Structure 1
Amino acid sequence: MQYDAIILGGGASGLMCAARAGQRGRRVLVLERAEKVGKKILISGGGRCNFTNIGAGPANYLSANPHFAKSALARYTPRDFLDLVESYGIAWHEKTLGQLFCDGSARQIVEMLLAECAKGDVEVRCGVEVGAVDHSDGLFRVGEDTAPALVIATGGPSIPKMGATGFAYDLARRFGLKVVEPRPALVPLTLGGEDVLFRELSGVSADVTAQASGPAFREAALFTHRGLSGPAILQASSYWRPGEEVAVNFLPDRAPGWLPEAKRTAPRTTLRTLLRDALPERLADTLAERLALHRELGNQPDAALRAAEARLARWTFRPNGSEGFAKAEVTVGGIATSELSSKTMEAKTVPGLYAIGEAVDVTGWLGGYNFQWAWASGVAAGDAL
């Protein structure tokens, strides 16, 4: 069969691209390896799909070129996607930090995207294992099907149990496109060495600020039997590289000088007692033990209190690794943005070849940002096909 465009991948970006192109009168074929489309959508947000973030902007994304995402994100905004959601009568709510979720089920988002594809007479085939992709005489051939345009929308290798692979990168390299080395992102970190003690706190969580080499994130951190997780840690993990530290502020609301001040107002209290008032008991006890200030505050020199205060505000862990692609929500890296047009997502050196979504070296923060990139990049390509 001859089509105007063949889209590899029936996830968020692929379906959005297909719907947009189909409704523009293009004859579109979507090929999905899994037995049904949108599997990552269905499991996202605890099954309610954190489908966008109302504050999404270029600053919320990692890329070798931080400017690349600006064009697509400006032309298709969170409000644009929210208008689409509301036009289907899908009820939604805002959780913390601008995160938007379905009131009901993530399935509503998949059904909406399929309905949008149906409006454009898009053909969707599932359970298709794409083998060789050939390109000659201006046409891409996938099996028995041909088209002058091919869209890579197969995502990255995160969550392999969902069928994720590095297929997008292999295909990009076959067409001569560079790939920024992919690594796990939004992933729990593992602890070893002196930090092993903290693994005994498995199940304990606290509101903290966490930071690797990028911005600081104020959310919950969770201790696990392997190391560190929770939203604050997952956010920091996207910026973390092996060998680097992660700094945690266990008391982000305390102003400098709070401990010497506590010494003056309550000299007979102890650091352990103060920490138990602010943090889960097991965590408070562990931190107090490591700081080794066992006497009453009135018997501690101010210098020792200031040192303890500074350590609590920047407690450094040196993870010995992460839980890898198996537990990573997304992938940092991917098809190099230098190879693509930021306006259309088309490869500069291979006319008719496009790459969108997680396959590209644009990675969002936790909280709906990656879906917004999927919608925006899908629209950019869909409008260009």
Structure 2
Amino acid sequence: MSASFDVVVIGAGAAGLFCASQAGQRGLKVLLLDHSEKVAEKIRISGGGRCNFTNIGTTPAQFLGENPHFCRSALSRYTPQDFVELLQKHAVPFHEKHKGQLFCDRSAEDIINLLLAECALGGVTRWQPCAVKSLDGPAQTGTDFYHIHSDRGLIQTPQIVIATGGLSIPKIGATDFGYRIARQFGLKMIEPKPALVPLTFDGLDWQPFAQLAGLALPVLMETGAADASPKQRKKATVFAEDLLFTHRGLSGPAVLQISSYWQAGEPVRVNLAPGVDLAATLLRTKAGSRKLVANELASLVPSRLAEAWTSTDEALQRPINDATDKALQTLAQRLSDWQLTPNGTEGYKKAEVTTGGVDTRELSSQTMESRQKGLYFIGEVVDVTGWLGGYNFQWAWASGFACAQALAAH
């Protein structure tokens, strides 16, 4: 027994659901299938359960990949405002947090329900759970059709959309399926890596800082050209966000952002007191205070941080008026330009997204179709990765929409 559809979308996450709904509403006969029983788990857990579904400040500048301009076409044709209008159509309440991030007022379930309602409007057939055992291309079938061998039988279609995401968070069903399909049809890949992920540090080196676990503070954090001249350091990637100390290393928005750019073996630099001239302030305070250095420093940075930083140096365990100028200047320098080299990341289990994926040089930026006719790739499986803050969802909507507009009825 076999079934035929105009298009089969594999992967019922953000990009797949949206693409299927838009294609269905254009009159195509659409099948959406996923190996998982649950739909859109990544949406469900995102944004602390409230789903940071887009960012009103989205531009191509917030995306990285081997070809950072690839996303430009799709992003220009489906904007954050377009998705906001869809929420308004479905009466989904939302609010803006800082830096243009939009979240649901109630729950991420509102976004999932919206996408399912849009699929219903398009008459989309959805099979879940439904695993794909193998996939034959037109060259193998000797026709214009792909044959999908699934655990619900044979499916025939002239067009397949791969929306299976990356390797991030395997416990909710992430697999390398999309990458395997790309390789099967001879498409080049950019090596995948965990991104938007906490950084880890060597156990012994990290021991003095592990006691700070749970402490958060605003910082400036950078990577790239970190040991270079001031001129070269202009090329460094810098984020002004919050940092969070953990037992194993560093997390928080600043770290997640920088992790997408960090290369193994490279140091990162952190200014733990941005906007404060620590050296000048400490030297000025020295003239009229008998408080301990740690106590004076605690007025400039969190007290736990001040205590940890001064406790390892005898020259700083004294009243500030007894400390040498050099000791205070060294302290200020270390706090405002803390250099450390991660030994790795927390990996895919904690990564919000995956960088790398299907090489964009193999795809049309207008349609998301690959060099293999009738085979499309959208969302996270493609080598397009956004910053933290709703940008990756906007790429899901935009790439799904661009693809849906290009699909043909048969």
Fold shared, TM-score > 0.5 on shorter chain:
yes
CA distance in structure 1 between the aligned counterparts of 2:332 and 2:208, rounded to whole angstroms: 21
What's 1:328 paired with? 351
Whether 1:314 aligns to 2:331 is: no
Count of aligned pairs: 384
- The residue number in structure 1 matching 2:175 is 165
Q: Which residue identity does 1:159 align to in structure 2? A: I
Q: CA deviation at 1:14?
A: 0.4
* CA distance in 2 between partners of 1:343 and 1:271 (Å): 60
| Secondary structure of the corresponding residue to residue 131 of structure 1 | strand
What whole-Å deviation, never above 9, does each CA across 1:158-177 have from its counterpart, x for those lacking one?
00000101111111000111
Farther-moved stretch of structure 1 (238-247 vs 253-262): 253-262
Distance 2:261 2:164 in 1: 23
Q: What's the TM-score once normalised by structure 2's chain length?
A: 0.89
2:214 pairs with 1:208 = no
Q: CA deviation at 1:297?
A: 4.0
Cα separation, 1, equivalents of 2:300 and 2:112: 42
- The corresponding residue for 1:29 is 31
Q: Which runs of 4+ in 1 moved over 6 A?
A: none
Q: How does 1:1-385 map to 2 (within 5 A)?
A: 1-136=3-138, 137-143=143-149, 144-192=154-202, 193-213=204-224, 215-255=237-277, 257-259=279-281, 262-263=284-285, 266-290=288-312, 292-347=315-370, 349-385=371-407
CA distance in 1, matches of 2:360, 2:130: 28
The one-letter code of the counterpart of 1:174 is Q
Q: Is the 8 A contact 2:26 2:122 kept in 1?
A: yes
Distance 1:132 1:266 in 2: 76
What's the CA shift string for 1:183-240, capped at 9, x where partnerless?
1111111111423321122222222222222522222211111111111111111111
Offset at 1:275? 2.3
The alpha-carbon deviation at position 72 of structure 1 amounts to 0.8
CA distance in 2, matches of 1:266, 1:139: 83
Q: Percent identity?
A: 51
Quickly say closer, same or farther: Cα 1:140–1:205, change in 2 above 3 A.
Answer: same
What CA distance in whole angstroms lies between the structure 2 residues aligned with 1:179 and 1:87?
38
Secondary structure class of the residue paired with 2:365: coil
Q: TM-score, normalised by structure 1?
A: 0.95
1:309 and 1:255 mapped to 2: Cα distance?
A: 8
Bigger drift between 279-288 and 58-67 goes to 279-288
Shift of 1:267: 4.8
Structure 2 contact 10–32 (Cα < 8 Å) conserved = yes
Q: What are the superposed Cα offsets for residues 265-323 of structure 1, whole Å, 9 maximum, x if unpaired?
A: 64544431232123332221112234643344444454543333222111112111111
Indicate the SS of the match to 1:201. Answer: coil
Is the partner of 2:348 in helix, strand or coil? helix
Note if contact 1:275-1:288 (Cα within 8 Å) is conserved in structure 2. Answer: no
Would the aligned equivalents of 2:283 and 2:325 in 1 still touch at CA under 8 Å? no
- Structure 2 CA distance, aligned partners of 1:112 and 1:303? 61
- Check whether the contact 1:99–1:368 (CA below 8 A) recurs between aligned residues: yes
In structure 2, what residue type is equivalent to 1:156? G
CA distance in 1, matches of 2:166, 2:367: 20
Structure 1 CA distance, aligned partners of 2:333 and 2:68? 33
Partners of 1:259 and 1:306 within 8 A in 2: no
Structure 2: gaps of 5 or more residues: 225-235
Distance 1:49 1:96 in 2: 15
- Alpha-carbon RMSD across the aligned residues, in angstroms, is 1.7
Q: In 1, Cα distance between the equivalents of 2:312 and 2:105?
A: 44
Question: Partners in 2 of 1:371 and 1:306 — Cα distance?
Answer: 45
